[in-house]
Amino acid sequence: MRILMIGAGGVGDAAAKIAVERDFFDVFVVADYDLERARRTVACVVDRREGERRFHALQVDASSSAEVAALVRLTGATHVLNAVDPRFVMPIFEGCLEAGASYLDMAMSLSTPHPDRPYEQPGLKLGDLQFARTADWEASGKLALLGIGVEPGLSDVFARYAVDHLFSSVEELGTRDGANLAYYRPDGSEGFAPGFSMWTIIEECLNPPVVWEKARAESSGRGVEGGFFTLPPFSEPEVFDFPEGIGPVECVHVEHEEVLLMPRWLEAERVTFKYGLGEQMISILKALNTLGLDSTDPIRIKGVDIAPRDLVAATLPDPASIGPQLQGKTCAGVWVTGTGKDGEPRRTYLYHVADNEVTMRDYDAQCVVWQTAINPIVALELLANGAWSGSGVKGPEAFDAVPFLELLAADKPEGYGSPWGMEDR
């Protein structure tokens, strides 16, 4: 396997640090628009393993599918890992298809709200542009594995495991994400810094959240596609109790890929995603929206065209750099309700927790980006050893969950030494 990873930001840098410990690939190219940033990542990972020579740094413009295709051919990449933000999904996706490489991402192609009824009906949904190319990917014999980060990604694997092994019927597959992370400025005062791209947070949280219901799908006559509907941002708040000391966090509906992926492969009455944003983040997002600072349309400021959202993101600390100033844990998981294999009612939370102290100590990566980064590397190893295989456009729940969860949790060096948990409530 020859891997080309596009993006050397926080997630890409963490992914390379995780990958260097593994032996399943022959070449790992780190490509970024900023060549020096790619070189820093490569230099860091090479220092982590004596005699390491598989990693190389190159420059790429991820907005150009032609340039991505050319780089795939130049490097002989068999698999491309997209580690940049969702704006660049389609050029990388199309470049891989053109050049004949399999593709993995951690976030799907962007959505566009319904022009007239945004809080009732979806417009262009997350991933629609990618699923529209399914036949082309199947014809190519290559795989486009969508949403294989932590959420989406590990959450979808948990859902597949629950459907296959824990439940005879499922009422709801509800992804629930929460944390107790706190950011401290150099002077010791508590400040505000998101754990991942503020650009993406604004996109996810201010777009109309999508929910899927089986009853709607069946009554629509349109199959799975008829089951999707939208709500206003921050709808249906609930307090969810997260494990391992995180505790209760208020969660709200957020637009997210799991809702667009799970119904395509898994049987459930309802699919949702709720995120523990917290009062501060919700207030900030509402203020940005009120002021128009969430817009991606450039405006001219003193002779320079700049999108307000880009400006907001640029003013905040780089998520890749805040690890030393973070404290706490983050939790990703799926809350599953329904009937167990024994015929009795069952309510189970399957989850994975990352502790910032541990990820900084072991990988010099803050916990949010590290928890995202480990999952595509596990998936690539499963594709390399044949435990996972296929072609076309698929989500993580299209594959057997057991090999993934076993490899993730197994002690090093056989596995990744990152256990997951399960609570019946």
- pLDDT for 324 equals 85
Give the pLDDT confidence of 135-180 residue by residue, as tens digits. 999 999 999 999 999 999 999 999 999 999 999 999 999 999 999 9
Q: What is the pLDDT of residues 50-70, one digit of tens each?
A: 999 999 999 999 999 999 999
**β-strand 238-242 against 247-253: which pairing, if any?**
antiparallel
Residue type, 358: V
Task: Calculate the average pLDDT of the chain.
Answer: 95
pLDDT in tens, 352-368: 999 999 999 999 999 99
10-14, 71-75, 188-192: least confident range: 188-192
2-150+370-419: CATH architecture: 3-Layer(aba) Sandwich (3.40)
Residue holding tokens 């197994």?
A: 410
> pTM for the whole thing?
0.93
Is 245 or 315 the better-scoring residue by pLDDT? 245
pLDDT at 319: 79
Q: How far apart, in whole angstroms, are the C-alpha atoms of residue 269 and residue 91?
A: 35
| Residue spans of beta strands (DSSP E) within 201-325 | 210-213, 228-230, 238-242, 247-253, 270-275, 299-301, 304-306
Q: What are the boundaries of each domain within the chain?
A: 2-150+370-419, 154-368
Q: Are 25 and 386 in contact (CB under 8 A)?
A: no
Q: Note whether 270 and 259 are within 8 A (CB).
A: no
**Per-residue confidence band for 203, with pLDDT thresholds at 50, 70 and 90:** confident
Give the gyration radius of the chain's Cα atoms: 21
Q: Does domain 154-368 have CATH number 3.40.30.10?
A: no
pLDDT tens-place string over residues 272-299: 999 998 777 888 888 988 989 889 899 9
By percentage, how much of the chain surpasses pLDDT 70?
A: 100
